[in-house]
């Protein structure tokens, strides 16, 4: 792993590379969940670099990990802002030429918005891990419970190992999702605009979303789509059912890269 921060308009983003650089091979760009950061991908980036032969790049969004703080409260459009403004500039700053976006939870929603709206020629495919396309009651109820765990349990101390400003990281995400205005979050209108292949994976026991999320993809996405429900996984299939999930991602990446060479 090589740790290289990125400067965006004088603000620092924590970032890291695994495997080869963007001048030698395509890049898997990892977009973390609502409470994630570079470190919380754990050994997944190294394993993906090894199994795909691609470079792997991950960064912590503003307000997460060791990146500079974000302005709070986050706007209801924060995922749109990340997808349409921040992500393109990160790809530019990192020198990424050809990429597959791999987004987990909020990161998956960001990947879907970017692919559906930008028609970015650098993006060859997207992998969506437990992504949200609209808000479900189950989703909000689970996020409300996690607030209680943060305030009275051990979650705050666990997250503080990874985030320089843990309260900012948690409140920025949790307060946005529990704002009544956020019930209007719905990005299904972006899905028909996706023109690259899509791999969507969701844990069969995901407490933050039901199979209705995958069903929305199947209704709206017009590009090649593989949607898989992963047994034995909850909201983080890349950690809870690692072998099955990483095998599916590697197979998807290799198929895209072989097709691009023909």
CA distances from 50 to 74, 125, 165, 233, 243 (A): 36, 19, 32, 23, 13
Q: What is the pLDDT of residues 169-200, one digit of tens each?
A: 999 999 999 999 999 999 999 999 999 999 99
CATH number at residue 120: 3.40.50.1820
**Encoded tokens for 124:** 């060859």
Residue 3's pLDDT band, with cuts at 50, 70 and 90, is confident
Domain that holds residue 181: 2-261
Q: What is the pLDDT of residues 39-97, one digit of tens each?
A: 999 999 999 999 999 999 999 999 999 999 999 999 999 999 999 999 999 999 999 99
pTM recorded for the entire structure: 0.97
Which candidate, 246, 252, 237, 217, places its Cα nearest to that of 115? 217
Residue 4's pLDDT band, with cuts at 50, 70 and 90, is confident
Tell me the sheet residues that pair with 202: 229
What is the arithmetic mean of pLDDT over 198-219?
Answer: 96
- Structural domain count, the chain: 1
């Amino acid at each position: 792993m090589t740790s290289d921060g990125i400067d965006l308009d004088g603000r620092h983003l924590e970032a890291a590379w695994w495997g080869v650089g963007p001048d030698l091979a395509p890049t898997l760009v990892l977009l973390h969940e609502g409470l994630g950061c570079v470190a919380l991908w754990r050994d997944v980036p190294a394993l993906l670099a090894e199994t795909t032969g691609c470079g792997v790049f991950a960064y912590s969004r503003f307000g997460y990990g060791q990146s500079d703080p974000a302005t709070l409260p986050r706007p209801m459009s924060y995922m749109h802002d990340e997808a349409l403004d921040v992500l393109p500039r990160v790809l530019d700053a990192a020198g990424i030429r050809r990429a597959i976006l791999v987004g987990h939870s909020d990161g998956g929603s960001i990947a879907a918005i970017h692919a559906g709206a930008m028609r970015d020629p650098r993006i060859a495919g997207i992998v969506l891990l437990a992504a949200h396309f609209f808000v479900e009651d189950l989703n909000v109820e689970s996020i409300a419970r996690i607030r209680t765990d943060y305030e009275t349990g051990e979650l705050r101390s666990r997250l503080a190992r990874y985030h320089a400003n843990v309260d900012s990281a948690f409140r920025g995400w949790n307060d946005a999702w529990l704002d009544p205005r956020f019930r209007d979050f719905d990005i299904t209108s972006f899905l028909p605009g996706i023109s690259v292949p899509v791999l969507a994976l969701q844990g069969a026991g995901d407490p933050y979303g039901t199979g209705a999320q995958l069903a929305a993809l199947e209704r709206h996405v017009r590009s090649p789509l593989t949607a898989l429900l992963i047994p034995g996984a909850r909201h983080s299939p890349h950690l809870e059912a690692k072998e099955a999930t990483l095998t599916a991602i590697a197979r998807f990446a290799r198929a895209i890269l072989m097709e691009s060479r023909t």
